Amino acid sequence: MSAPGQPAGPSRTPVYALVGNPNCGKSTLFNALTGLKQKVGNYPGVTVEKKIGTAYSQHGLPLTVIDLPGTYSLAARSPDEAVTRDVLLGRRADTPQPDRILCIVDATNLERNLYLVHQILDLGRPVILVLNMMDLAARSGMEVRVGRLEHALGIPVIACEAVNGKGLIELKLAMSRPDLPLSRHAWDIPAAIAPAVTELQASLAAGEGKSPLIARAEALLLLTDQDSVRVAGSTPLNARTTEILRSWQERWAGQEIDWAGILVGSRYDAIGVLAANAVQAGPPAGRTTSDKIDAVVTHPVWGWLILIAVMTLIFLSIFTLAEYPMDWIGAQIAALTRGVKDVMPAGDLRDLVTDGAIAGVGTIVTFLPQILILFFFIGLLENTGYMARAAFIMDRLMSRVGLNGKAFIPLLSSYACAIPGIMATRTIEDPKDRLTTILVAPLMSCSARLPVYLLMIAALVPGDRVPLPTKVGLMLLMYALGTFGAFGFAWLFKRTLLKGAPPLMIMELPPYRLPGLKDVVLHMIQRAGLFLKRAGTVILGISIILWFLTTYPKGPGGVVSIDHSFAGAAGHAIEPLIKPIGFDWRIGIGLISSFAAREVFVSSTAVVFSVQNFNADDAHADLTPLREALRNAHWPDGRALFTPLVCLSLMIYYVFAMQCMSTIAVVRRETNSWKWPIFQTLYMTGTAWVLSFIVYQAGRGLGF
């Protein structure tokens, strides 16, 4: 580790931590600095996203940048804030303590943002302060005196407009400096608290080897944060420090001294002096452009109509814009299959490659354009600031089911994938609200369900092409079922298992901005990469295993017969359970395999029907489109298997069933218990069976 203020040694790339309040433009700046040179994963032991990128100085030297979760304070109230705090304090063995810190603030709300800056300066690390959104500050008549702030703090202060790329050259020049100064700004710790800070500082320095300034900063945090959040992977406090902290807290409690309030008040006094010196407020502002737009977008009536229109536009785009690239990908996969069959001799190995690997993965990859379009719109809504408005609109509805609007952002994220949606519940402060949101988040129709819906819609509608209004209508119906199902169960849980009044929603509405196309594209590329990685690992492995299970043991004479296979035996075993909802043993194979991931149903169906219809005399017989294979499938008595009623029943089943082992694992880790993921699996899958039973049996009774 380099000494503070000194360049890192030649054997180590300098590490910068990027920190800031939510909605300050931190992610935009991270993308502007690192571009495609970034990796996304999770911190070991806790489901908090870890983003690390490589930037380059003005001299072409690589710089490592860690994008830490947004936080208003280092006094952590949630797991993601705890990770930010612990990385900066050097508590995590999996992440190096940063050499330097980039602290980005919203120039339009400087005084509020300076609280976090003030805490970070206590760490004794070299800091570069980035004043973002300077254009919005100027537009509101506010003058931020950069020179005065730089002089008062004694650190580089860079005026920036991250979304427009302004200030990036100046920032890279500052990041390139080998002699970044330490802040000379100091504030007086209240006399009543000073002895406790000194004693805790000494214990942290002696017992944990902390540097004096880091130990002092951590001592202040321990006293400020009365209910500190600890997460897996973080170094716990030693026993001596814990005892000192408890002793002082008991002493002050007996004397009725609000030690945390005294510390926070003293810090804000110092911040007030800084802000008064650095900010010249403009004349009282009238209604801003954002206010005028919000008058319509958050209107009790127009707001809902706009939200419905936005969702309809997304689904319409998914069908229309993705059609041609999907056809092209499908043609390439078919050509690849034919090419493999032309160069490989007939046999099990060729069948494994074509019917197992290519058929399984290729069917899923075909849906990549639609996944990309979905993520494009999610990124667009986040970048423009509309996502927060959607949460505000939904608060009126969600308060009736016992949740507040903050829960809608995790639920909205679950439209893409339930895993990041469940992870996003960390921002919900009330434990019961958070658990309720976790339990219902998988009911939101994620992108993994899209391939299942699309396949069933294609098989449901007669003719070669499905009319666009039919596609959009059925998709909206499935998404509406999942959404209102989530609200219904949230209402039930908040009145039974998890009783409690919903807290008031306090949410910051960021200003509207033109979206940064680069940020949206990067978001798409990252999520597409994760999708393809999953297709190339989990789905490929499952497809190969499924091919084996559907091929062996072979029937009499060595003929491939799915009826005699291991998978066929499993499908037959569960057929009595699923026959009342219209499914046969072949669909049962898809249901079993898709417990690994919902989208595997499509690839497993491709493998199942490809194997069953295989004809050794016709090298291309198994290239029949999957939709046609489903339409040609029949029950033993000659009835069509995939009737419109069965397709509808199957879609409803996938709306409600818990068919994702990854989600179950994340729920286990987030709740730290197997109780809730088991309960979640049982209630969701049970609901799916009951509703599919009602739809199928009622439909048959009505003559469908």
Q: Distance of CA 299 to CAs 174, 310, 400, Å?
A: 45, 15, 18
Q: Which range among 106-120, 535-549, 681-695 has the greatest average pLDDT?
A: 681-695
3-state secondary structure 652-664: HHHHHCCCCHHHH
Mean pLDDT of 675-697: 94
d(CA 442, CA 679): 13
**Is residue 397 within a helix (H) or strand (E), and if so which, with residue range?**
helix 386-398
Determine the pLDDT at residue 125. 86
For every residue of 217-252, DSSP letters joined together read HHHHHHHH-TT----TTBPPPPHHHHHHHHHHHHHH
Instruction: Report pLDDT digits (tens) over 45-67.
Output: 454 667 888 888 777 888 899 99
How many other β-carbons are positioned within 10 Å of the β-carbon of residue 510? Answer: 22
Domain-ending residue, one of 258, 284, 312: 258
Which pLDDT score, from 0 to 100, does residue 130 have? 93
Q: Is residue 704 in some structural domain?
A: no
* Token reading at 127: 């800091």
Task: Assess whether pLDDT exceeds 60 at residue 151.
Answer: yes
Which pLDDT band holds residue 349 (cuts at 50, 70, 90)? Answer: confident
- 113 and 45 share a domain? yes
- Give residue 282's pLDDT: 63
Output 427 or 629, whichever has higher pLDDT: 629
Contact yes or no for 16/177 (Cβ under 8 A): no
The per-residue pLDDT for range 205-224, each reduced to its tens digit, is 887 777 888 888 888 888 87
Whether the predicted pLDDT of 600 surpasses 80:
no
Residue 622 located in a structural domain: no
Segments in 399-516 forming alpha helices (H): 408-413, 418-423, 431-440, 450-460, 468-495
Same domain as 131, residue 207: no
Residue 384 has pLDDT above 90, yes or no: no
Residue 698 tokens read as 């009622």
Q: What is the CATH number of the domain that holds 124?
A: 3.40.50.300
What confidence tier does 691 reach under pLDDT thresholds 50, 70, 90?
very high
Is position 666 within any domain? no
What share of the chain in percent tops pLDDT 70?
85
Cβ atoms of residues 333 and 535 within 8 Å: no
Both 32 and 166 in one domain: the answer is yes
Q: What is the separation of C-alpha 664 from the centre of its chain, rounded to a whole number of angstroms?
A: 15
In a domain, 108, yes or no: yes
Does 24 fall in a domain? yes
Contact 18, 171 (CB under 8 A): no
Over the stretch 427-448, which tens digit does the pLDDT of each residue have? 676 778 888 999 999 998 877 7
69, pLDDT greater than 80: yes
| C-alpha–C-alpha distance, residues 572 and 453, integer Å | 24
Residues 156 and 35 occupy one common structural domain: yes
Instruction: Quote the pLDDT of residue 618.
Output: 35
Which residue range forms the structural domain that includes residue 55?
15-176
Whether residue 64 is found in the same domain as residue 158: yes
- Residue 665 CA: distances (Å) to CA of 188, 356, 419, 497, 660: 47, 27, 9, 22, 9
pLDDT classification of 506: cutoffs 50, 70, 90: low
Average pLDDT on 665-678 reads 83
Structure tokens at 406: 């903050």
pLDDT of 651 > 90? The answer is yes
* Closest alpha carbon to 104 in 34, 26, 169, 157: 26
pLDDT band for position 354 (cuts 50, 70, 90)? confident
* Coil vs helix vs strand at 311: helix
Q: Domain boundary residue among 220, 238, 258? A: 258
The rounded distance, in Å, linking the Cα atoms of 694 and 187 is: 68
Question: Which residues, in sequence order, are CB contacts of 501 under 8 Å at separation 6+?
Answer: none
| Mean pLDDT of all residues belonging to the chain | 79
Distance CA 378, CA 446 (A): 12
Highest average pLDDT, of 10-19, 29-38, 177-186, 653-662, comes from: 653-662
612 is a domain residue: no
Confidence of residue 560 (pLDDT cuts 50, 70, 90): low
Whether residues 74 and 208 fall in one domain: no
**In total, how many domains does the chain have?**
2
What pLDDT was estimated at residue 577?
Answer: 94
Beta-strand runs (E) in 575-697: none
Q: Out of 258, 283, 312, pick the residue that ends a domain.
A: 258
Predicted confidence band of residue 648 (pLDDT cuts 50, 70, 90): very high
d(CA 160, CA 173): 13
Same domain, 200 and 69: no
pLDDT of residue 86: 85
Is 142 in the same domain as 44?
yes
**Same domain as 230, residue 93:** no
Residue 100 lies in a domain: yes
**What residues have CB less than 8 Å from 669, skipping those under 6 apart?**
46, 47
pLDDT above 90 covers what percent of the chain?
12
Closest among 93, 60, 80 to 19, alpha carbons compared: 80
- Examine the domain organization and report whether 217 and 72 are in the same domain: no
Residues 149 and 64 in one domain: yes
> Do 96 and 199 share a domain, yes or no?
no
In a domain, 32, yes or no: yes
